[in-house]
C-alpha cells in the first residue's frame, strides 16, 4: 500500500470512528465507544503519525 492509499484509509477510518463514537455516546453503549477508540488508533498507525520523525528546527 503506497502512502496516498494509506492516508486515504486513515481518513476514512477516522470518519467511521467518529460515527461509532457518536452512536456509542448517544446510545450509551460502551462497545461502540471501544470500537471507535480502536479505529482511531488503527488510523493513526496507518497514517504514519507514529512513524514520522520529529522535525528539527
Average pLDDT over residues 34-51: 82
DSSP secondary structure string, the chain?
--HHHHHHHHHHHHHHHHHHHHHHHHTT-HHHHHHHHHHHHHHHHHHTTTTSPPPP-
Distance of alpha carbon 36 from alpha carbon 56, whole angstroms: 33
- With contact defined as beta carbons under 8 Å apart, do 35 and 18 qualify? no
> What pLDDT is attached to residue 45?
84
Residue 41 has pLDDT above 70, yes or no: yes
> What pLDDT is attached to residue 1?
65
The pTM (predicted TM-score) of the whole model is: 0.72
> What pLDDT is attached to residue 23?
92
- With contact defined as beta carbons under 8 Å apart, do 8 and 42 qualify? no
Amino acid at each position: 500500500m503506497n502512502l496516498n492509499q494509506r492516508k486515504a484509509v486513515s481518513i476514512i477510518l477516522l470518519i467511521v470512528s467518529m460515527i461509532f463514537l457518536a452512536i456509542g455516546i448517544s446510545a450509551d453503549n460502551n462497545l461502540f465507544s471501544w470500537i471507535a477508540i480502536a479505529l482511531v488508533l488503527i488510523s493513526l498507525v496507518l497514517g504514519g503519525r507514529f512513524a514520522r520523525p520529529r522535525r528539527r528546527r
